[in-house]
Amino acid sequence: MRPFEGIRIIDATHVLAGPFAAYQLGLLGAEVIKVEHPREPDQSRTNGPDQALNRAGLGTQYLTQNANKRCITLDLKQEAAREVFRRLVARADVLVENYRPGAFAALGLGWEALSALNPRLIYCSISAFGQEGPRARQTAYDHVIQATSGMMAATGTAEANPIKLGAPAIDYATGTMGAFALAAALFKRERTGRGQRIDLAMFDVALVMMAAHVTAHSRTGRAPRPRGNAHEFATNSCYAAKEGLIMLGASNLRQQKRLWEALGRPEMAKRSNEERLAADAEERAALSAIMATRSAQDWEDWLQARHIPAARVRDLAEALADPQITTRSVRHAFTGVEGLGLPFAVPVAPFRFAHGGPRVDAPPRPLGADTDAVLAELGYDAESRAALRAAGAT
């Protein structure tokens, strides 16, 4: 038995962060029902490098975090569809939505209305800046939050900055934090029997992702400067090798001592971090010369054998070919899924349980594929379902 079996989640979210939060609980056994507008569905359905999939409404951005979900369509601007939604919520444990703050309340589907209908409901709202404050009504995506939060300004080099991160890290961090908040709320409900209101902001998540920078700024008043591939210490930075790039990770005093001794330069080892900073230029010059004598792969093998953190810089294709990926089962491969043609794989969860852990049970579904079945479960007969379809409510 997985942790969230028996829990029903209504996933009224779109793009990446919200769907990823619900996906994580779905991997752990929750029943997730994804709700989309019949004519304006989740925009991720049409995003990704495979245009044939985009045209089919099954773009790779959508596939990434929508396995293990049933999919229904509701036009929540219509009262008939809102009534369906209320019936869903009355039987649900969790509602996750990521529309503009106030949008669901304006439809009569806000926290106050729905918690009155279902006092045990956990109502999670994910937004750019939170439900209150001067920016509450503003909308944003991952890259816009990167720009707003100072993350872009801290990324890049002295010559080339600000730089956006190459992956939508804030989206997925927000989804992960959302899953954590939902799990915590469900745990608390087991103790109190009460529902919960969760207000999760991408902007706040971005600041938490820069937690060390935030703390340092509170002390110094200085914003972090972009360091590129150079970390604070020379032995913890990236260098050009004879072939490729090698990232050294000799971070603490013990590791840097081990590195210098392994390289035959024990006199370069320092007794304190202050000494390391004072000799930074000298250390970088020495390491640049040494690392240029062998290939990055040679250095990785040689240093790791001596328990010194180091890695050759790889691209994604190389990383996914690493046998460690297979060992960890962090991806689930789909083959023979109707309407998708070629096989594809999606990330699962970055952890494993000894028993009852996360797993993928079903592939991502086409738009509205489960609408009729879910309506029937809610008590709508064939005639009522047909009327809803004819009115464009589903």
Alpha-carbon distance of 280 to 277, in angstroms, equals 5
- Residue whose C-alpha is closest to residue 8's, from 78, 95, 73, 101: 95
Question: What residues pair up with 69 in beta bridges, in sequence order?
Answer: 32
The pair of structure tokens assigned to 292 is 């240029």
Alpha-carbon distance of 21 to 9, in angstroms, equals 11
Spatial contact of 39 and 77, defined as CB atoms under 8 Å apart = no
Residue holding tokens 């699962």?
A: 348
The pair of structure tokens assigned to 148 is 């707003």
β-strand pairing of 69-73 with 344-347 = unpaired
Q: What are phi and psi of 72, to 5 degrees?
A: -130, 160
Among the options 231, 307, 332, 355, which is catalytic? 231
Alpha-carbon distance of 394 to 392, in angstroms, equals 5
Alpha-carbon distance of 363 to 347, in angstroms, equals 12
- Residue whose C-alpha is closest to residue 35's, from 2, 77, 70, 64: 70
Alpha-carbon distance of 42 to 62, in angstroms, equals 8
For 216, how many CA atoms within 13 A lie in the half-sphere containing its CB? 8
Q: What are phi and psi of 239, to 5 degrees?
A: -135, 155
231 is an active site residue: yes
For the four alpha carbons of 274, 277, 282 and 286, in that order, the dihedral sign comes to: positive
Question: What residues pair up with 197 in beta bridges, in sequence order?
Answer: 123
Alpha-carbon distance of 190 to 344, in angstroms, equals 38
Residue holding tokens 């590129």?
A: 228
- Residue whose C-alpha is closest to residue 294's, from 285, 303, 284, 306: 303
Query: Active-site positions?
Result: 231
